Chains A and B, each alone.
Chain A
Amino acid sequence: MAERVAGPEIERLIQLLARLPGLGPRSARRAALHLIRKREELLSPLAEAMAVARDRVTTCSTCCNVDVSDPCAICRDGRRDGSTLIVVETVADLWALERAGVGGALYHVLGGVLSPLDGVGPDKLSFEKLVTRVAEGAVREVVLAVNATVDGQTTAHYLTDLLAPHSVKVTRLAHGVPVGGELDYLDEGTLAAALRQRTPF
């Protein structure tokens, strides 16, 4: 067994860092050492930022996004088009769409997708909140921006049925050739979907 080279406090820091996505034990050790070396410039501000995040981050009661205020900054933004609601699986998807900068709409975070095989049913996702928002009447279009997976599309169809009684337009993201994608390297399913959903040029 390898001998410990640092005290228990540092070992604990390494262990916790190793639990972060993208970091293994070796890279966690390097990150911990870097933080210790840059104690004033990095470690202290990081610790403070994490403490603030721990104390203040909350889930938006309207859209289920995470922010330091409730409602979140996106829901409070009066410049956004309140008649369009983009439904995403996770907060990471919301951030990805915001990075793309083409939304300008409001969001709703489901918190996952239906997965009958894993026992994730409608009661474990924020479907009720979505229907309540739509029923309030301000929303004219719901964009289902869920992943192009079997579970994602099952969720999309379920939501379409759920929203059918409301007079709202339900759309979904197109499936097709990604920017920079070469046809030769694309899977047959994507190619077939792209061809089926071709648009006038």
Chain B
Amino acid sequence: MEWRDEATVLSVRKHGEGSAVVECFVRDRGRWAGLVRGAGSPRLRAALQPGNLVEATWRARLADQLGNFAIETLRSRAADWMSASLPLHGLNWLVSLARLLPERDPHPAIHDAFAVVLEHLGDASAAPALFARFELAMLAELGFGLSLAQCALTGATEGLAFVSPRTGRAATAAAGAPFAGKLFALPGFLLGVGAPEADDVAAALRLTGHFLARDVYLARGLPPPDGRRAYLAAAGLRLDATPPPDDTRHPIRGRERA
């Protein structure tokens, strides 16, 4: 078995004296791990930093085996980010999100979104909004997508302004107004409307953070990623307290989400 493809290094775990188990994110193959022999060499140590774009050649006798990677650097991104805290925290956050995907399961759309966020990690004005969109896409990819296309109460597709913390379904400004204190704000940019302001980004991250914590991290017994908290602190983004997710009097009920 053998394939060769462009890949982004996600993580490196030492294995024995000089080898490492390296996990890469490949567009048409998903998250893929392999053994890199001689990973302690100066050349490979520089290449095997999370975020770097590499050409990975994977070989194994059988498809189920861990296999061996041969790695060549295509773009050494990690070194560019080391002088600033924001891209480093962002990288940790992004990698922790990508690692929620199952191994050897291709997710080309998520990979493309991942690549866009990675490209803009150093851009403090664009990256937070991209992270919010990426988290929303991750929720959908993991089977916990939010239903933001129409109002759960009226069926309207315009003027959506709130999201239920319980069902993840949207509501219009008028329908949700009486319960505004119990609902998440739905920033327009998540629906492709308008450019995000700082408040919109914070609202979007509050929204995605709530559902990721409840449906993904809590369900898997994982703590929310440190990289997210560190990034938000470094970016000066303060997220207010979330509405009570287990409020049984909540008005927007409905079907189980996929």
Q: Chain A residues in contact with chain B, CB under 8 A?
A: 21-22, 114, 116-118, 121, 148-150, 153-154, 157-158, 160-161, 175, 185, 187-190, 192-193, 196
Contacts and interface: CB of A to CB of B under 8 A. Distances in A.
A154 B46 contact: no
A22 B230 CA distance: 37
19 contacts: A114-B226, A116-B92, A116-B226, A117-B92, A117-B99, A148-B79, A149-B49, A150-B49, A153-B88, A157-B84, A157-B88, A160-B85, A161-B234, A175-B82, A188-B79, A189-B78, A189-B80, A193-B82, A196-B83
A193 B75 CA distance: 14
Interface in B77-134: 78-85, 88-89, 91-92, 95-96, 99
Contacts of B46: 187, 189-190
B246 interface: no
Interface of B: 11, 13, 17, 43, 45-47, 49-51, 73, 75-76, 78-85, 88-89, 91-92, 95-96, 99, 225-227, 230, 234
A139 B183 CA distance: 50
Contact of A150 (B73, B82, B99): B82
Contact of A121 (B50, B80, B95, B226): B226
B227 A192 contact: no
Contacts of B51: 150
A97 to B, nearest CB: 19
B40 to A, nearest CB: 12
A157 B17 CA distance: 29
A53 B172 CA distance: 71
A113 to B, nearest CB: 12
Nearest to B73: A187
A21 to B, nearest CB: 6
A192 B73 CA distance: 15
A150 B88 contact: yes
Given A121-B226, A150-B78, A175-B82, A187 B95 contact: no
Contacts of A175: 79, 82
Contacts of A150: 49-51, 78, 81-82, 88, 91-92
Contacts of A153: 82, 88
B242 to A, nearest CB: 22
B85 A193 contact: no
Nearest to A192: B79
A153 B234 CA distance: 14
A159 to B, nearest CB: 11
B97 to A, nearest CB: 11
A190 B79 contact: yes
Contacts of A117: 11, 50, 92, 95-96, 99
B11 A157 contact: no
A187 B85 CA distance: 22
B72 to A, nearest CB: 11
